[in-house]
Structure 1
Amino acid sequence: MTVTATVNGQPVAITVDVRRTLLDLLREDLGLTGTKKGCDHGQCGACTVFVDGRRVLSCLKLAVTTSGQAVTTVEGLGTPDVLHPLQEAFMRYDAFQCGYCTSGQLMSALAVVADESLTTRDQIREAMSGNLCRCGAYQGIVEAIIEVKARSHAAGSEDATPDAIV
């Protein structure tokens, strides 16, 4: 079956087996290896991406279900020369160590930044609880999110939507 979608702002049309996951399509067919395969069961969050502005676990989503949709991966956040504000904040707060979970953490963090109802550290931690970090960088991740949420809020609520943040 042919999947026609937009991936990181670029149109993509590719024929895939109907059983292929979005994660495998991204990594193996499109060469976008920033999205990681952790548990392959939807329990760790390493494979988190956006589909039409909503975070999804790409290891659980069939690629064919994304036809006509916009997919954003960690490669779509910034450039090597100009990092996304969350990427900068993750660096500033040592929000990663080995880095394996970082792409999923960043994608989930974008959704948390955009959600104006999440205002406390406990709410942020709960919203990020689907993303595991074996190195224990959770405190830095929360601090990075708080900083970017504060900047987004100061810039105006229209800047705090997933599409505007990406």
Structure 2
Amino acid sequence: MFRAPPARFVVNGAEFDYAGDPRRTLLDFLRYDLALCGTKKGCDHGQCGACTVIVDGKRVNSCLTLAVMQDGCEITTIEGIGTPHHLSALQRAFIKHDGFQCGYCTPGQICSATALLQELRNGWPSIGEPDDDLRERMSGNLCRCGAYSNIIMAIREVIEEPAA
């Protein structure tokens, strides 16, 4: 089997090398090689957002990109955002506002919302009304249970809370 030239990247603060099958998606690398199973395989077509991770500060559907393409990149998965004993503000807000039901989409929702918060801090333009803007920015992440209003409430709470 053909092996790709080694790729080196940082995942949740730790360095990793990858020299495996060049056709392996980032999603499969994270789940099967690194055992980071928080990132979910939903549609495997980039339509649902369950596989969203953060690559160099930007939201990426990990099912649509290859692991070897991340050479030199910094990748953050849900496991890198908080821990069960030290949740991020966004994770706490999701719990407080019931921003999930079955929870399958939640890792992708939280990764996407984490990047969204950084986009807002960086001054990315808004489309108008705050909640409409948040809904538009989160439109790449689907929730089959329909927890959208609670997800928006959770994100809004983190936006509105004073900096610690």
Q: When the two structures are superposed, what TM-score results if normalisation uses the length of structure 1? A: 0.89
Matches of 2:119 and 2:67, distance apart in 1: 26
> Which deviations, in whole Å up to 9, do the C-alpha atoms of 1:96-145 show, x marking residues without a partner?
00000000000111122223244600010011111000000001100000
Asked if residue 43 in structure 1 is aligned to residue 51 in structure 2, the reply is no
Where does residue 160 of structure 1 map in the other structure?
none
Q: Secondary structure at the match of 1:55?
A: strand
Match of residue 89 from structure 2? 85
CA separation in 2, counterparts of 1:65 and 1:53?
16
Q: How far 1:155 moved relative to its partner? A: 2.0
TM score, norm. by length of structure 2: 0.90
**Is residue 111 of structure 1 aligned with residue 119 of structure 2?**
no
Across the aligned residues of Structure 1 and Structure 2, the Cα RMSD in angstroms comes to 1.3
Unaligned residue ranges in structure 1 (runs of 5+):
157-166
Q: Aligned residue pairs: how many?
A: 154
Aligned partner of 1:58 among 23, 40, 62 = 62
Structure 2 residue 134 is matched with structure 1 residue 124? yes
Larger radius of gyration: 2
Could you tell me which of 127, 137, 147 is aligned with 2:157? 147
Superposition pairs of residues 90-105 of structure 1, within 5 angstroms: 90-105=94-109
Higher helix share: 1
Cα separation, 2, equivalents of 1:62 and 1:14: 11
Counterpart amino acid of residue 142 in structure 2: L
**What is the rounded CA distance, in whole Å, between the counterparts of 2:119 and 2:30 in structure 1?**
26
